[in-house]
Structures are given as C-alpha cells and as structure tokens.
Amino acid sequence: MQVMSEELLTTFEVARLLRVDPSTIRRWIKEGTLEGVLLPRRGKKQLYRIRWKTLNDMLQDSSSWLV
C-alpha cells in the first residue's frame, strides 16, 4: 500500500499509538532511535513528522530492543 507508507504522522499521533509521552518520541528522534523529518521552524518549537513506514519498520524490528 504505497499511500499509507508515505503518510506522515505527528509526534503526538506516534506517541498515542505507542502509549508514550510525545516528549519521548522527540527524544528518540534526537537520539537517532527513531527517524524523523524535521519541518521548517515556526517560532521556537521544532516540529517533526514520522513516516508510517519508519514506524512500521521499527515495530517489526522491536524484538531486538524489547526486554
């Protein structure tokens, strides 16, 4: 499904799906744990988007980092 794989999710949407705080998603992006797309800045806040495919790949590979 090509359209779904190109869909961009907000940090809030990803956090809700993974049941973590949005700040955790932003931290994972900054640490390089999760690949994010940095949007052009508006004001002081950095905005990120996560590709659906990136999230799906991370979840498929989750057995390597889950305890």
> For residue 47, is it within any domain?
yes
Task: Please state the three-class secondary structure of 29-52 as a single string.
Answer: HHHCCCCCEECCCECCECCEEEEH
> For residue 66, is it within any domain?
no
34 phi/psi in degrees, rounded to 5: -130, 130
> For residue 12, is it within any domain?
yes
Q: How confident is residue 1, by pLDDT bands cut at 50, 70 and 90?
A: very low
Residue 26, domain extent: 2-61
Structural domains of the chain, count: 1
The pLDDT tens digits for 25-66 are 999 999 998 999 998 887 778 899 999 999 988 888 766 555
Domain CATH code at residue 54: 1.10.1660
pTM: 0.78
> For residue 67, is it within any domain?
no
8: exposed, middle or buried (C-beta count within 10 Å: 0-12, 13-18, 19+)? middle
